[in-house]
Amino acid sequence: MRVANAPVSYGAFELTVGVLPNVPGPEEVLAAVAHAGYEGIELGPPGYLGGGALLRERLDRVGLALVGGFIPIHFSEPEHWDEDLAMMAVTLDLLHAGGGTEARPVLSDAGSPLRVANPGRAATDMRLGLDDRGWRSFGEGVRRAAELARACGFEPTFHHHAGTFVEAEWEIERFLETTNVPLLLDTGHLLLGGADPVQALRSWRSRIDHVHLKDVRVDVMRKAIADHADMPECWRREIFCELGSGDVDLDAFLAELVDYTGWVVVEQDWMPEPGDTVAEAVAAQVRNREWLRRHEDC
């Protein structure tokens, strides 16, 4: 098992880069990830870590492997496929420049305004999900994206994600039935979607080839769902917390993960508020790495 970190743990992701004034730059994040003892990093928003020779140079300088890149696509909306797949090609070029074909294209549904506004609710309200026709379209979109990735020498994986059409356990099951793409299991998004990460790992083990390790404060999560908080508000409320300080049974999950040989990416999604600095996020990721060493000797 190899352990990586991600820019989102330092406040750098699609909703913050180029939007908020206090998002750390790539050099600062790369140095922090390497200093904390992680072996790899995910890409963050396309271009955030740089591109081409600059990306490779930055990674080599701190000794980090590029392990994957997040690619949101409106899989249920064919009218957006051409544009989304063109953007996917840009990310594939970045992955190739920074990590070769060992880096993973991380496909994810781009969701819809309704789903972004209602994270965590599809587990009990199936009306928020796709109908059979929607799933047929979704499956075709995934097929096209996977075909593009494989034509470029990559094996894609799929990230179930809160606030999208693949969030609740029943939606992940439908995704697995509909496609042949491996699954990225994210402990935090899974719990927010109403499922048990340990049972999910047991049930879907044969399809899981990438892991995002998160912890979740269930009391904060339940309050956010009750308040109909949207996904950005869930991040602002810091649903995702340091490893071992929340309610995910991470020890049981890691015990079940025995013999897994892929990447485990530690993530603690963080959206900086005005006045926040990256110093606490940097310290938190050091503590996360230390926690994982103590609990899995890795």
The pLDDT profile of the chain, 298 residues, written as one tens digit per residue, is 899 999 999 999 999 999 999 999 999 999 999 999 999 999 999 999 999 999 999 999 999 999 999 999 999 999 999 999 999 999 999 999 998 999 999 999 998 999 999 999 999 999 999 999 999 999 999 999 999 999 999 999 999 999 999 999 999 999 999 999 999 999 999 999 999 999 999 999 999 999 999 999 999 999 999 999 999 999 999 999 999 999 999 999 999 998 899 999 999 999 999 999 999 999 999 999 999 999 986 5
Q: Which residues pair with 106 in a beta bridge?
A: 70, 157
Bridge partners for 2 per DSSP: 263
Distance of alpha carbon 281 from alpha carbon 268, whole angstroms: 9
In angstroms, rounded to a whole number, what is the distance separating the alpha carbons of residues 101 and 142? 19
Domain 2-296 class, CATH top level: alpha beta
pTM assigned to the model:
0.96
Q: What is the CB-side half-sphere exposure of residue 174 using CA atoms within 13 A?
A: 19
C-alpha distance from residue 28 to each of 12, 16, 117, 206, 276 (Å): 11, 16, 32, 37, 15
pLDDT given for residue 296 in this prediction: 81
Q: What is the dihedral of CA 191, 197, 201, 203, to 10 degrees?
A: -70
| Other CB atoms within 10 A of residue 20 CB | 15
Domain ranges of the chain: 2-296
